[in-house]
Chain A
């Protein structure tokens, strides 16, 4: 019986190895969103140009949608942009944009150059809406359900794989939920 005690360090080691091994699979720099399953905070942002309308949180009620935070100053956003264009062309889900801390005119010039995947774009020049949304960097994308609640947040670039493996299935699930 007392010999079994000798195995205690080994057992402890095994438990810690499994625990820390699981920890290694997580990204510690990713801060969990406080908004999951909660309604979007209220915002009412002006348009970035005459061509596209501005954005308020009530625009996102009524259908499942993507809310993408971007900036013309943000290199990963340029990487992500073709994917957003592809999603917009597919017509699976409408995309709304928040132009985060861009100087006047920069966001609209950027969309003119690269194409506009957004239904509406709000101009968050002061960055306050981004803080209300708990944004830590651009790009970030929220999936909003038909009741205007945040159901998912993706930090970083939406790649083809992220879209097909994670976002699209969830969007379709929420659309089915909304249709019920």
Chain B
């Protein structure tokens, strides 16, 4: 029984592993090239599934794109040349990380500007509160009104 259960467990583990990793289909013999290929896969978008890199996608087109990457690396191209090759065909969209250029300047700068603007606003606000706090210590209610309020609440 125990042996049967552990065999079953092993079977489930193996099948789930096999299903979980579509993974690169074919490997390059040279481990250094294979490592470069894996990094490049992660930087390239699968143009069919779009939210996945071609490293994670098992779409047929992603498979073809991986084959192109391997071929280009074997032909001795640099990483940048491989990316350029696919970028020339699919545009900036094929890069997982948008390049910093004129039409993406806003994309890159706006978050930083919003952060700096917010931080500056916060600093100005805190400084102004601090300055005001020194002038009048009480809560701004005159004594007569304070008494009236106390009476309403039945405190006196």
Contacts and interface: CB of A to CB of B under 8 A. Distances in A.
A33 B88 CA distance: 10
Interface string B56-97: 000011001100100000000000000000101111011000
8 contacts: A31-B93, A31-B94, A32-B91, A34-B91, A131-B64, A131-B65, A131-B89, A133-B89
A32 B87 CA distance: 12
A101 B89 contact: no
A101 B68 CA distance: 15
On chain A, which size bracket covers the interface? 10 to 19
A73 B65 CA distance: 19
B91 A128 contact: no
A114 interface: no
Nearest to A34: B91
Q: Is the interface of B mostly helix, strand, loop or mixed?
A: helix
Contacts, number: 41
Contacts of A136: 47-48, 61, 90
Nearest to B94: A31
Q: Is the interface of A mostly helix, strand, loop or mixed?
A: loop
The 4 residue pairs across chains A and B that have the minimum distance between CB atoms = A136-B47, A127-B64, A134-B89, A31-B93
Contacts of A137: 48, 61
Q: Considering residues A31, A128, A132, which has the most beta carbons from chain B within 10 angstroms of its beta carbon?
A: A31
A132 B60 contact: no
Interface of A: 29, 31-34, 101, 126-128, 130-137
B64 A132 contact: no
A34 B90 CA distance: 6
B39 interface: no
Given A127-B61, A127-B64, A128-B68, A29 B89 contact: no
B48 A132 contact: no
B50 interface: yes
Contacts of A127: 60-61, 64
